Structure 1
C-alpha cells in the first residue's frame, strides 16, 4: 500500500477531463478530474464516486500503477470465492488468467502472486477514494444537501465494503479465531500524501470500524436523496439498502445474529424475489428485481476475455469456457428435488464431448452414459444443447455443466453486469441468524418465502431439528447463490473444509485439483488466509516479514 497507494489518487485525479489526451482516455476510461478540483463541488465529488463505481470492474492497470490487464477486479474477485472452494468446478485443464492456478490454491497462498497483490491494492484504492470524499464532505466546507449526503453515504459504504473484503481474506475468520488479538489489516484514513497507514490492526478493530462506517452510511442515506431510478446503471449507485445488506453480512460473519437478521430484512425491502423465468434468464443484468447492487458494465469499459462470464459462464465464447466448461458439484445437483426449478439450469446428463476432459471420459469412444446407445444419439444431444443455449461449434459439453450464468447474447464476448447483492441472500442471512439464536421456527419462517418460491413442494415440517435445518439451509445457500462467489465466506463461517472425494465425489478430477482436492477446515489450516503481498511488506515501513500470514 505504502509504495503504490501514494500514486493511486494522483493517477485517478491528476489529469483533468479538459486536458486529457485522447490516448489516456482510451487507456483509462474513468471520470478523471484535477486533484485541486476534486472536492470543489458536489458535482466533482460525484465524478470521483463514478470513478470508484467503474473501478470495481475495470482492468486493474486503469485503476492504479502496477496493475495488470490479467485481472479486471470484481470480474475476478467475485467468482473467485466459488473457484477456490470447489463449487465452480473445472472440467478440463485450462489456466487462462491463472484461473486453474487459483483453483489449485497456488495463487492466494503465494505472497508474490498477482491475485493477492491486486486484490489488496484494489480494495485500498476504494478506501483511498472513500477517504477523499469522507474527509472532504465532513470538513464542512460545502453546504449540506440531500445529494451530498447520498455521496457521503456511498463513500462510507464503500469503505466498509473494502475493509470487510480485506479482513475476510487477509485475516482469520472472526468466528473461528480470537478477533481481539488476531492480526487484521492496516487502517488507512488519510486522503493526502504520503498516505501512510497504521500497522496491522486486530480483526476486532477492523470489524469495529466497519460497523461505525455502516452506521454513518445509514445515517447519511436517511438524510440523502434517493438513488436515481432507471435501468441497470442505477443499481451501480449504492443506497441505504446496500448499506443494510453489508451490515447483515458483517454481523453474520461476526456472530451478531440479531443485528444480521434485522439488517437483512431492511436490505431486501423493495426488491421482490425473482419469478421462475427471471431466475433462469442468466443473472447477467442489474435489471432483475432482486438485484440490490451490481456493476453495470458499459461498452466503453468492457473487459472481454477478463470478465466474470469468461471465467464462469458456459455460454461465453472464450477458450477458458470452450475448452473447460464449468460444472457444478454433482452431490449438490443430485440433491435438488424435481419440484425445485433451480435444478433445470444444471445438465447432469450432458454428453462429455471434450476429448481433453480431466476425467478421461470425453468423446463418444469413452462415453459412460447409458442414455446414449449410439454415436448419433450422443452427437444429437450435443447439438441440441448448443442450439438451445447459443453455443458455438467450439464449445464442449460435459455432465453437470451449468447454465445458471448466461449472457444476454450467448456465444459472444459481449459485456454483462456483475451482480453483488440480491434479496435472496438476505432471506438466507435472516434464516441463518435466527437459527443461530436457537429459534428454529423463526428460521423456518424466514426461509419460507424464498424456499417456497423456488420449490413448489417445500415443507418446513420436513425439518424437525436444528441440525437438520442447518444442513438444509447450507443446501439452500449453495444452490441459490451458486456461482455468485459466496463459497469462500460460507466455508470460513461454517468452518468447513473441502472434500471432493466424500459422499460419492463432486465430479472434480483429483489429478487436476491436486492439493486442493481435499483441504482441512479453516480453523485447522491457515492456508485459508490470503498472503499479504510481498511488495507491500517490502515497501510499507509499518509492516515486516513477521506480519505475513
Structure 2
C-alpha cells in the first residue's frame, strides 16, 4: 500500500494532534514531534492511543466523510431499510444509488480506504513501540491488546468492502486487500481473502490474550476484552464459523446487560447507556463546522438535511414489528395521536419545530441529540443486543433451533414483553432472527455487510413510503433497485482507489476489481 503510507513523524503528529490532552501539545509543538517523543513514556503512548480512537470520528476531507460514523450511514444507505424521504441534498446518495463505489476515481471508493488504513497505521505504530517502553506490564498489555483489536477491525471493514465475500469450505483465494501490519513503507500487494482473515484472527487471538489480564479501560471509547470478543464474534459470523461466533458472542456479553425500554427511547446518543459496549464520545468542541453523524441522522437537530429529509424505515420492515414492541415507537405510524412524538428538527432559539420542517410517516426518532444547540453526540459502535443476535443466528444456522430460540429470547422479550419463545425451526427461525437484527440495528451501519455475508439479494421493492418532494427523480432508480446475490455479481465490491493503483508498485491495473 502506498497512497496512504504516512511517514512515522506525520503519523505521530496525527495521533498527538487528535489527542484530548492540550497540555501535551503545548509541551511538544507539532513541528518538533518525533517518534521517540510519543514513545518515551507510557503516558505519552496512551495519548497516541487516544489519537487513534479520535480518528474514528474526525472528518477526513468533506462533510460527508466524518470517519466511521459516515461509513455507518453509507453501509445502511446501500441496504433497503434506511430510507430517504427526499432528494434535496446529495450526501450519502452516491452509496444509495450503487454507482460511485464502482468507479475507482470517486471519493466514495477512496474514503473507506483512506479512513481504515489511516487508523490502522496509528495502531501499527503503537504496536511496534509499546514493548520498548518502561512501565507496568498489564498497562502495556492493555495498550497493545486494544491496538491489535483495532487493527483487526480495520482489516475486517476493508476486506468486506474491497474483497469478495468469504465462503466457508472453499479456498477463498479471491483477491482481498493489502495486509498492513507494519509502517515500514514497503508496498504490499492484495492478499487473498483467506490470508486477510487469517491475519485478522491472529490479531484478535493475541488481543484477547493480552486484554484478559489487562487493567480496566479508561472509558468505553477504548476496546476492552468484551469488545475484542465481540470483534471475534463478528469475524466468525462473516466466515460462517458458527460455533466460534456463538461462543464469542456469548462471552462478549457476559456480565453486561440490555438497556431498559425507557432508555430505548432516549435518543441513542449517550455512551453511558448500560448496553453500549464501545462507541465514540464526540464532544461539542470536536465536531466540524459542517457535518457529523448527527447532522445527517438526528431526528431533532436542525440541520437542513434533517429538517428537509427525515430518514424513514422501510414500510415493509415496519409492518413486521409487533405493536407491543418498544421499537415500534421509534418510527411514526402516521396517526395524529402519535404525531406529537415526532416534531422533527427543532429550532434551538424557540425550542419548537423548525420552519419548513418535514414530518412524514415512517420517519424515525431513534437518534436524537441531547442538546439541539449542538450536533455533537456519542456514536454507538457495538451494543450488547448485537451479541445476542449473533449468538442466536449462529446457533440457528448450525441447526440448533432450540438453543437459537433460547438465545434470542432475552433480547426479544426485553423489547416486547408480549414476545413468546419462538418455536420456529430451520429457515423460518433464521428469518425471524434476521428480522430482529434489521429492526434492532437500523441506522447502525450493518445492513450492507449483512446482505453480502449472507449472500442475499438487495430488494427495495414493495415499499409504500411517502416522499416529501414531487421531483425526487432518484427514487425511481434507488428505491426500485434490486441487486443479485453477491456470489453472482461484482457490484458488491468497491473498486480499489485509482491513486492506489497508480502509486503502489505491488498493485497494477490487472489487480483492480472487475
Do Structure 1 and Structure 2 share a fold, with TM-score over 0.5? Answer: yes
Aligned residue in 1 for 2:457? 497
Alpha-carbon distance in structure 1 between the residues aligned to 2:301 and 2:105: 30
Q: Is the 8 A contact 1:30 1:54 kept in 2?
A: no
User: Do structure 1's residue 317 and structure 2's residue 302 form an aligned pair?
Assistant: yes
Distance verdict in 2 for CA 1:325–1:179, change over 3 Å: farther
Q: Is the 8 A contact 2:187 2:505 kept in 1?
A: no
Distance verdict in 2 for CA 1:9–1:167, change over 3 Å: farther
Distance verdict in 2 for CA 1:458–1:9, change over 3 Å: farther
Aligned residue in 1 for 2:172? 180
Find the residue that maps to 2:5 and give its secondary structure.
Answer: helix
User: Do structure 1's residue 445 and structure 2's residue 438 form an aligned pair?
Assistant: no
Aligned residue in 1 for 2:389? 428
Find the residue that maps to 1:212 and give its secondary structure.
Answer: helix
Q: Is the 8 A contact 1:15 1:34 kept in 2?
A: no
1:523 Cα deviation after fit = 1.6
1:142 Cα deviation after fit = 3.5
- Correspondent of 2:317 among 320, 332, 335: 332
Alpha-carbon distance in structure 2 between the residues aligned to 1:109 and 1:442: 41
1:133 Cα deviation after fit = 1.3
Aligned residue in 1 for 2:213? 223
Alpha-carbon distance in structure 1 between the residues aligned to 2:478 and 2:153: 31
Q: Is the 8 A contact 2:221 2:278 kept in 1?
A: yes
Alpha-carbon distance in structure 1 between the residues aligned to 2:168 and 2:208: 29
Q: Is the 8 A contact 2:16 2:51 kept in 1?
A: no
Q: Is the 8 A contact 1:304 1:415 kept in 2?
A: no
Q: Is the 8 A contact 2:78 2:448 kept in 1?
A: yes
Q: Is the 8 A contact 1:253 1:493 kept in 2?
A: yes
Aligned residue in 2 for 1:488? 448
Q: Is the 8 A contact 1:299 1:415 kept in 2?
A: yes
1:132 Cα deviation after fit = 1.1
Find the residue that maps to 1:95 and give its secondary structure.
Answer: coil
Aligned residue in 2 for 1:366? none
Moved more, 311-320 or 509-518: 509-518
1:9 Cα deviation after fit = 5.2
1:392 Cα deviation after fit = 1.9
Q: Is the 8 A contact 2:15 2:51 kept in 1?
A: no
Q: Where do residues 116-127 of structure 1 align in structure 2 (5 Å cutoff)?
A: 116-127=109-120
Aligned residue in 2 for 1:375? none
Aligned residue in 2 for 1:10? 10
Alpha-carbon distance in structure 2 between the residues aligned to 1:30 and 1:278: 42
- Correspondent of 1:106 among 95, 99, 102: 99
Distance verdict in 2 for CA 1:31–1:155, change over 3 Å: farther
What TM-score comes out, normalization by structure 1 length? 0.84
Aligned residue in 1 for 2:142? 150
What TM-score comes out, normalization by structure 2 length? 0.90
Would you identify which runs of 4 or more consecutive aligned residues in structure 1 move more than 6 Å?
14-17, 29-32, 380-384
Cα RMSD, aligned residues only: 2.7
Alpha-carbon distance in structure 2 between the residues aligned to 1:325 and 1:276: 24
Distance verdict in 2 for CA 1:282–1:32, change over 3 Å: farther
Aligned residue in 1 for 2:349? none
Find the residue that maps to 1:174 and give its secondary structure.
Answer: coil
Find the residue that maps to 2:380 and give its secondary structure.
Answer: strand
Aligned residue in 2 for 1:399? 361
* Gaps in structure 2 of 5+ consecutive residues: 347-351
Q: Is the 8 A contact 2:167 2:239 kept in 1?
A: yes
Count of matched residue positions in the alignment of Structure 1 and Structure 2:
495
* Gaps in structure 1 of 5+ consecutive residues: 61-66, 229-233, 351-370, 372-379
CA deviation string 1:80-100 (max 9, x = no partner): 21111122111110334x322
- Correspondent of 2:494 among 527, 530, 535: 530
Q: Is the 8 A contact 1:161 1:246 kept in 2?
A: yes
CA deviation string 1:162-196 (max 9, x = no partner): 0001011111111389553111100112224xx12
Alpha-carbon distance in structure 2 between the residues aligned to 1:430 and 1:55: 30
Q: Is the 8 A contact 2:310 2:344 kept in 1?
A: no
Find the residue that maps to 2:100 and give its secondary structure.
Answer: coil
1:471 Cα deviation after fit = 1.1
Alpha-carbon distance in structure 1 between the residues aligned to 2:38 and 2:341: 55
1:406 Cα deviation after fit = 1.4
